[in-house]
Structure 1
Amino acid sequence: MSVFEHPEFDSHEHVAFFHDSATGLKAIIAIHNTNLGPSLGGCRMWPYLNSAEALTDVLRLSKGMTYKAAMANLQQGGGKSVIIGDPRQHKNEAFMQAMGRFVESFNGQYVTAEDSGITVADLQAVATQTQHVAGTHALYNVLGETPTGNPAPSTAYGVFVGLKQTVKHVLNSNLNGVKVAIQGMGHVGYRLAKQLHEEGAELYVADIFPEGLAKAEQEFGAKIVAPEDILSLPVDVIAPCAMGSAINDESLPDIRAKIIAGAANNQLAREELGQALHQRGICYAPDYVINAGGIIDIYHQKKSDSSDDALRAHIDQIGDTLSEVYQRAEEQSLATNIIANRIAEERFSK
């Protein structure tokens, strides 16, 4: 099967494969759409089973970035890169420098940033080979942390804002006593848990790695759950904050929550599942709307005249955008992901 016949290919402008024999780097960059400006999207490193799985991920992720930028009112297009390999074993400075040369070959039409498996230090190595890197330094932070370039604090804050707004819309409630199951205790999931805990939410957490779970249990009183059970708990909210496709044909029948609102990209294994959620009375916060805090952060870090408050105010708009999506979805009796897609397409299509 060629890229053009791939089921996730959606008029992508540019898809490129790269192999560096000296370091072993195998990577793919996909640019989906640049109508609003040069594409921007993080670099993800993951031990994909094969190149076909990596291609599926990068095609879906790059498309999602186009929609995310449009819904966040940014003059940017959508792109993404993926590296095949275990980030805990297979990368070093030379490896990431090779990735930098790959990014440079796009002549500014793709700007890379941080995503799963990639650190600020990795991006700094990439930046020795190309100037088309975002997130290597920072001036602003919405959670009062020292700015490092990691957009996770802004992503987590945006998901918190969106989740809070969705709970208000669906349950007519604040977060005190609301039961939230968080799938993934990484940089974003942990920060989301902290904010929810401070608002009085009751937390359930799961991850394939134990480090974040122990902290969440100790600091937030979170209950640790097996990864295979987290989506089927009798809770109010499920917050997918790990890899994509958490909502699929196998997991859907077991979901008992009334709300799905999390940080993961491509939470629906296929678009049609949004309508299935709608028919079951489950409110889905479209992922690329609620998790846009990171891309908003990167935009503001490039502005010398921004501030913590300006960044926070921009991210706060995620709640208003979700309210518009929910209102239109109810008026038209359609799934929230369909409505969000239509709004985004109105903004980036020519």
Structure 2
Amino acid sequence: MFDIMEATRLESLHLAQDPATGLKAIIAIHSSRLGPALGGCRYLPYADDDAALRDVARLAQGMSYKAALAGLRQGGGKAVIVRAPHVDNRGALFEAFGRFIDSLGGAYVTAVDSGTSSTDMDCIAQHTRHVTSTTSGGDPSPHTAMGVFAGIRASAQARLGSDDLEGLRIAVQGLGHVGYALAEQLAAAGAELLVSDLDTGKVQLAVEQLGAQPIANEALLTTPCDILAPCGLGGVLTSQIVAQLRCAAVAGAANNQLAHPDVADELEARGILYAPDYVINSGGLIFVSLQHQGEDLPAITAHLAQIGNRLTEVYAHAQAEHRSPARVADLIAERILYG
């Protein structure tokens, strides 16, 4: 456990179980230097406790970097609830998790993530105020998509010489809440859309509503396009996949897109521009953070608009230093977090 904490530079780990509801949860606080740790709660099955621990530690670190680059007064944290095959009362489980969060006295603020919903956040909110993404708070997904769209335009400018997306072939992998909202914005901007998702119903909807071209999920990553936008699960950019990519840039909403850090250098060696995921997909975090702090929508929208500018800055440093943008973003975040 401590080796994982040391490798990711976690400040603290908090574990709780509640036999009455079946709750088994881990909260990881990576950094509180900039403010209270904020990060989503995942409700997923894990192969074992070690897998859950590694996942929450890695994700909490990513949240710290994301908040730092986004210019927020937040630290990074994450929570995982180990999902059992059967739960008698889901609402009671999330209420128990709310009590767990409240016991930390505001050190961690939770939000929706994989496997959780605004309804779950409503249950948590019955026992703590340190929660975002409730039904009344609104879905952060459109704001994530808005930031990714701005990032794609910045990436097109940096790699292709123009931020005009008219006629560009953009491949979107994953049509969840964020991916579909992004596809809508890209279609409105005149991009030629290639889409894939394991849910064929979502693909058909994109074909009918957005004029998208459907591509088999396993083939989309290596389909010729101008910009590839991974918007599903993480870890899709392996060394093997990078060797087969036929795009000018990768700029998408998925977290932890790189299977391992060296993939960033492999993308750079192939001349493929990579938008660091935690920079381009920070719109959801910006929304829930500023909303939780009481900011109004115009202030939040203005902050979201800076995502493209931050990416442009990262790209400029990367070009000047002959480094991958991912390496540059990490260095900037670490400078902010650790001095």
Q: TM-score, normalised by structure 2?
A: 0.94
Q: Which of the numbers 76, 101, 104 marks the counterpart of 2:99?
A: 101
Give deviations 1:39-58, integer Å, cap 9, x for gaps: 00011222333333322221
- Per the alignment, residue 214 of structure 1 pairs with 204
- Per the alignment, residue 225 of structure 1 pairs with 215
Query: What CA distance in whole angstroms lies between the structure 2 residues aligned with 1:118 and 1:216?
Result: 24
Q: Residues 139-150 of structure 1 correspond to what in structure 2 (within 5 A)?
A: 148-150=137-139
- Unpaired runs of 5+ in structure 2? none
Between 277-286 and 222-231, the greater mean CA deviation after superposition:
222-231
Query: What CA distance in whole angstroms lies between the structure 2 residues aligned with 1:73 and 1:334?
Result: 23
Q: Residues 1-350 of structure 1 correspond to what in structure 2 (within 5 A)?
A: 3-6=1-4, 9-85=7-83, 92-136=90-134, 148-173=137-162, 174-304=164-294, 306-307=296-297, 309-350=298-339
Root-mean-square deviation (CA, aligned residues, Å) is: 2.0
Instruction: Please state whether the residue corresponding to 1:6 is helix, strand or coil.
Output: helix
The residue identity in structure 2 corresponding to 1:275 is: D
Give deviations 1:90-119, integer Å, cap 9, x for gaps: 872112112212222322111001112211
Between 97-106 and 296-305, the greater mean CA deviation after superposition:
296-305
Higher helix share: 2
Give deviations 1:239-294, integer Å, cap 9, x for gaps: 11112111123322221111111111111121121111111101000011001101
Instruction: Please state whether the residue corresponding to 1:229 is helix, strand or coil.
Output: helix
Instruction: Please state whether the residue corresponding to 1:342 is helix, strand or coil.
Output: helix
The residue identity in structure 2 corresponding to 1:102 is: F
Query: What CA distance in whole angstroms lies between the structure 2 residues aligned with 1:88 and 1:197?
Result: 41
The residue identity in structure 2 corresponding to 1:210 is: T
How far is the alpha carbon of 1:17 from its aligned partner?
2.9
The residue identity in structure 2 corresponding to 1:271 is: P
Query: What CA distance in whole angstroms lies between the structure 2 residues aligned with 1:113 and 1:321?
Result: 24
Alignment check: 8 A CA contact 1:8 1:60 kept: no
Between 266-275 and 129-138, the greater mean CA deviation after superposition:
129-138
Count, aligned residues: 338
Alignment check: 8 A CA contact 2:74 2:289 kept: no
The residue identity in structure 1 corresponding to 2:252 is: G
Between 148-157 and 8-17, the greater mean CA deviation after superposition:
8-17
Alignment check: 8 A CA contact 1:45 1:87 kept: no
Distance 1:76 1:90, change over 3 A: farther
How far is the alpha carbon of 1:299 from its aligned partner?
2.4
- Unpaired runs of 5+ in structure 1? 139-147
Query: What CA distance in whole angstroms lies between the structure 2 residues aligned with 1:344 and 1:159?
Result: 19
- Per the alignment, residue 145 of structure 1 pairs with none
How far is the alpha carbon of 1:87 from its aligned partner?
10
Instruction: Please state whether the residue corresponding to 1:228 is helix, strand or coil.
Output: helix
Query: What CA distance in whole angstroms lies between the structure 2 residues aligned with 1:239 and 1:87?
Result: 33
Query: What CA distance in whole angstroms lies between the structure 2 residues aligned with 1:269 and 1:345?
Result: 21
Q: TM-score, normalised by structure 1?
A: 0.91
Give deviations 1:199-244, integer Å, cap 9, x for gaps: 0111122222334222212111112222211211111111111121
Query: What CA distance in whole angstroms lies between the structure 1 residues aligned with 2:211 and 2:84?
Result: 31
Instruction: Please state whether the residue corresponding to 2:172 is helix, strand or coil.
Output: strand
Query: What CA distance in whole angstroms lies between the structure 2 residues aligned with 1:189 and 1:114?
Result: 16
Identical columns (%): 45
The residue identity in structure 2 corresponding to 1:345 is: E
The residue identity in structure 2 corresponding to 1:240 is: P
How far is the alpha carbon of 1:330 from its aligned partner?
0.5
